[in-house]
Each structure stands twice: as C-alpha cells, then as structure tokens.
C-alpha cells in the first residue's frame, strides 16, 4: 500500500537503514550524443550506508510541488520516495529507498510508478534523479525501467572521502 506523508505517519520518514551492497560500478561513455555504460564488477563487494538528508519534512505535507510517499507492507513502512517539481519541468526524485529486507519484490517499481503518476498529474515532462556510479544495483534498476543517463559529474563528490565516485544523472521522459 502506498500512502502520502501526513502528520500522522511522519514518524516513518527514514525509519530504516539505506544500506546497500556495492558490487561494482558502471563505466559511462558518451559517444555521438548518447550515454551508454558497461559494468565493472568488484572482486570483493562491500556495504555502504547513506546518511539521511537534513530537510524540513513539514514542507512535504500538503504542498502541490513536493511530496513524500511511503510503501507499507501491512503496517510496516518498507519504502519511500520523495519528489519535488523543479525548474526544468521534471519531477526530481530527491530520495528513494526500499528496506533491504524487501528489495527485489517490486516495491521500487511501484514507487516509481507512483512518482510517474504524480508528475503527470502536474503536467511535468519526466523524472530525474542522481545516484553514484558505484551503486550498480540502482543503476541497473533505473536502466531496466527505461531511465537514460543525461549527465555524469566527476566533481560532484570531489570534496568528500568518496571522491572516486561519480554522480550519474538519470532521466525518464514521458
């Protein structure tokens, strides 16, 4: 069940770890006006956890240009997607996560479908998001759902201990 953020369920924001296994990375290539990628698998996978964003979550309640949806399995929140309308007539997926215990069960696809519905209701032209080149599972997921790479930024994470990561910007046009 997918439910919009309210004051009653605000406790479910980021209520599960956003840990994932880093198994490899994509190697993006830009040629003839189009991005493609190959994969490089690591010999030794490792776990990575993202920190929660510092945001004013109240901004996502009853706001026509921002929203957060939760996915519930019975009464347990196991997924969330946070969206905002941005200047280029896209919906930006600001945050997207499915609990590790519930991945590969179609929950992510349902949350993306909900994001598409929300964006289309606002006459937006597509979805966009950013992830890292070493989040191979996420990159595979977005590619499978027909997102395309629109840009790669090699400086996005340059000031952090993750400086070897590249930011990959994915787009889905309607």
Contact 26, 168 (CB under 8 A): yes
pLDDT in tens, 3-32: 999 999 999 998 877 788 999 999 999 999
Q: Which residues contact 95 (CB under 8 A, 6 or more apart)?
A: 53, 80, 81, 82
pLDDT band at 55 (very low <50, low <70, confident <90, very high): confident
pLDDT in tens, 137-172: 999 999 999 999 999 999 999 888 766 899 999 999
By the 10 Å C-beta count (0-12 exposed, 13-18 middle, 19+ buried), 108 is classed as: buried
DSSP 143: H
pLDDT in tens, 84-111: 999 999 999 999 999 999 999 999 999 9
For residue 80, give Cα distances in angstroms to 65, 105, 110.
17, 14, 11
The predicted structure's pLDDT at residue 162: 67
Coil, helix or strand at residue 85 = strand
| Residue closest to 98 by CA, chosen among 123, 73, 61, 122 | 73
Alpha carbon distance 121, 104 (integer Å): 28
Domains of the chain: 2-173 (3.40.630.30)
């Amino acid at each position: 069940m997918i439910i919009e953020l309210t004051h009653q369920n605000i406790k479910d924001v980021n209520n599960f770890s956003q840990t994932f296994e880093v198994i490899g990375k994509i190697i993006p290539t830009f040629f003839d006006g189009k991005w493609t990628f190959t994969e490089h698998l690591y010999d030794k996978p490792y776990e990575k956890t993202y920190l929660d964003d510092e945001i004013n979550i109240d901004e996502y309640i009853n706001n026509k240009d921002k929203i957060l949806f939760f996915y519930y399995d019975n009464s347990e929140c196991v997924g969330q997607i946070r969206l905002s309308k941005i200047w280029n007539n896209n919906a930006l997926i600001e945050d997207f996560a499915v609990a590790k215990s519930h991945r590969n069960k179609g929950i992510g696809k349902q949350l993306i479908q909900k994001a598409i519905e929300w964006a289309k209701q606002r006459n937006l032209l597509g979805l966009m998001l950013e992830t890292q080149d070493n989040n191979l599972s996420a990159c595979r997921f977005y590619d499978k759902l027909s997102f395309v790479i629109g840009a790669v930024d090699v400086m996005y994470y340059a000031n952090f201990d993750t400086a070897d990561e590249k930011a990959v910007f994915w787009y889905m046009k309607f």
